[in-house]
Structure 1
Amino acid sequence: MAYRAAAVHGPRGILTRIVSMSHSLARPELPKRFYREAAIAPANGGHAVLLDGRPVRTPARKPLVLPAERPALAVAAEWNAQGERVNPATMPVTRLANTIVDGIADDPAPVRHDLRRYAETDLVFYRAESPERLLERQVAHWDPVLAWARGRIGHDFIRVEGVMHVAQPPETLAAMSQWIDAYEDAFAVAALHQMATLTGSLLLALAVAERELTIEKAWQAAHVDEDWNTQQWGGDEEAQARRDARFEDMKAAALFAQIPANHS
């Protein structure tokens, strides 16, 4: 029987919906490309995305202005990569940027609050009872993240075998809350949430944001159980395609989560 040692997170807010919906955005009739070139330009302390010199607007008709050059260039690259028709399903950075500008930038507090729930039910707290080789993989991928986070906040975490909820120490949760609150930029907060949603782990998301782990290492750590099951029972092309698409969302989020303090 396949084993999955992870707390299950239900749909939560606009960011979770954008993750779950992002891979079914293709429509029978996609809009035709109406521009020649996408570029970026300084605007309002950030970087605006322009199509033939005109600013791109979000679905809510707000100017698409990003806080740093790197994600702005990524959005422009997605627009430039479109063919005869514009397909939002191939534009994960643009989708996330639109979501943040329209639904989160004005008030990131609810998303920050939601992140605290992941601190209570993080994937890496829940370990397999058996087989031993799976447990060894979890230890190899997850224990270094726990050790890093422990050193970061000065408090320990409780691990448990199985999937029954375990309450983390109050002092640990308080320290995690302070860590989350240190992320004041709405784009970074939203990006952390998207990565936590995709991986089931706030600690893995923070490790990517603070460059403790590469995106690839964090993604591998998030899929230890799934990869084990695949090795035992075989894979599925459609499932792999969905996983690949989610990884593109993960990379898009990392562009915003890793914005340095000087927004360069």
Structure 2
Amino acid sequence: MSRIFHKLLNTTYHFRSNKFMPISIIVRNMATVKRFYRKTNILLSGDKFEIVLDQRKLKTPKGRIFEVNSKPLALAVAAEWDAQKEIIDRGSMHLTSLCNTVLDNPNNYTKIDLVNHIVNCLEMDTILFYSSEVDELYQLQVEKWEPIVCWFCKHYNVDIARTQSIEAPTVSMETKAALTRHLLSHNFSSIYGLVYAVDGLKSVILTLATTARVINISEAVNLSRLEEEYQISHWGNVEWHHEYSKHDLQARLSAAMLFVYLNSHSATSRPKNDTPDVS
């Protein structure tokens, strides 16, 4: 995996610092912000949609006007802000964070940078690493993972090895080229949504299977956590931590998939002076 993207793993975009930071640090250092607005709207401006908090236009961490091309996406972001209670929980506002990162692009990544990152992540894909020690777990992985890996190979007309060792499986140049061609067909915003999903699931294959609706959000999360769930079923767990981690991943993946979809599809009419109230 390239060094330039190593920091994307277990990181997210920090509103206040305009940079990627480890999630654990952000959670510790995130300042408490009280809700400062009563009403949330969207506003049509030219061919884009902006978010309005009372009479203030929402801005990105770098001070740019927050604007998106998709009306449904603008409504979804506005709903995130409208759902905040007395204290604004920025960590739960995944769509807002994704939009901010695309708009500000704090590290000046190009489309091919993001595509190369996803392609390189394939070598460390969670569902290519099978257990070599526990036969029961290995059989479970074969049962649950193998159909998705086979779908991936057939859909993209590639061949990819699985492994039972700690060494990463070899991914051929042909496979990387095929995957690169597919990813480049997406726009920049959609690709960043895919990066966000890959980061959460630690799996390119599960991300693309979810995007293609071969599996749903819950199935993708369960498959990515298969070994952890197996260990928990045998040794128990810290219940609150397990449930929080699982639900947080589901929320992140749901936001990523919605972000990809709404940046890839446009079926919105845009009448003049269309300023719906979503409060």
TM-score bracket, normalised by the shorter chain, equals 0.7 to 0.9
Match of 2:250 in 1: 247
> Which aligned pairs between 1:143-162 and structure 2 lie closer than 5 A?
143-162=146-165
Question: For the structure 1 residues 120 and 179, does the alpha-carbon distance in structure 2 shift closer, same or farther, using more than 3 Å as the test?
Answer: farther
Q: Which amino acid aligns with 1:99?
A: T
Aligned-partner Cα distance in 2 for 1:106–1:68: 22
% same residue: 23
Amino acid at match of 2:191: V
* Offset of residue 226 of structure 1: 0.8
1:18 to 12, 35, 40: 12
Counterpart residue number, 2:136 = 133
Instruction: Determine the C-alpha separation between the residues in 1 that align with 2:73 and 2:202.
Output: 24
Superposed, which structure 2 residues align to 1:186-225 within 5 Å? 186-225=188-227
Are the counterparts in 2 of residues 30 and 86 from structure 1 also a CA contact under 8 Å? yes
C-alpha deviation, 1:188, in angstroms: 1.0
* Structure 1 position 10, deviation (Å): 10
8 A Cα contact 2:12 2:23, kept in partner: yes
Is the 2:8–2:199 Cα contact (8 Å) retained in structure 1? no
Q: Distance in 2 between matches of 1:243 and 1:110?
A: 29
Q: In the TM superposition, what are the counterparts of 1:231-242 in structure 2 within 5 Å?
A: 231-236=233-238, 237-242=240-245
How far apart are the structure 2 equivalents of 1:120 and 1:43?
43
Instruction: Work out the CA distance in 1 between the residues paired with 2:30 and 2:199.
Output: 29
Matching of residues 107-126 of structure 1 within 5 Å? 107-126=110-129
Q: Are residues 42 and 102 of structure 1, via their aligned partners in 2, closer, same or farther at CA, if it must alter by over 3 Å?
A: same
Q: Distance in 2 between matches of 1:40 and 1:221?
A: 37
TM-score under structure 2 normalisation? Answer: 0.81
Q: Does the 8 Å CA contact 2:5/2:117 hold for their aligned counterparts?
A: no
Structure 1 range deviating more: 225-234 or 13-22:
13-22
Q: Deviations over 1:85-115 (max 9, x none)?
A: 3221232221222122211787333222211
SS of 1:189's partner is: helix
Q: Which amino acid aligns with 2:182?
A: W
Contact persistence 2:129–2:165 (CA under 8 A): yes
State the alpha-carbon separation in 1 of the partners of residues 148 and 45 from structure 2.
38
1:138 and 1:224 in contact (8 A); partners too:
yes
Give the TM-score taking structure 1 as reference length.
0.85
- 1:160 is paired with a residue whose SS is coil
Match of 1:58 in 2: 60
* Whole-angstrom distance in 2 between the partners of 1:108 and 1:170: 20
Taking structure 1 as reference, are residues 14 and 154 closer, same or farther at Cα in structure 2, changes over 3 Å only? closer
| Alignment equivalent of 1:79, drawn from 78, 81, 84 | 81
In 1, the alpha carbon distance for the partners of 2:92 and 2:47 equals 28
Query: For residues 196 and 10 of structure 1, do their structure 2 counterparts lie closer, same or farther at Cα, with a shift above 3 Å needed?
Result: farther
Question: Which one of the candidate residues 92, 95, 103 is aligned to 2:94?
Answer: 92
Whichever residue aligns with residue 142 of structure 1, its letter is: W
For residue 33 of structure 1, report the CA deviation from its aligned partner.
1.9
Alpha-carbon distance change, 178 to 242 in structure 1, aligned in 2, over 3 angstroms: same
Contact 1:15 1:99 in 2 (8 A): no
Write the deviation string for residues 139-178 of structure 1: whole angstroms up to 9, x where unpaired: 2322222122112221211111122122122211221121
Tell me the number of residue pairs that the alignment of Structure 1 and Structure 2 aligns: 256
Amino acid of the residue matched to residue 197 of structure 1? D
Residue 169 (structure 1) aligns with: 172
Amino acid in the other structure paired with 2:62: A
Is contact 2:40–2:78 with CA below 8 Å preserved after alignment? yes
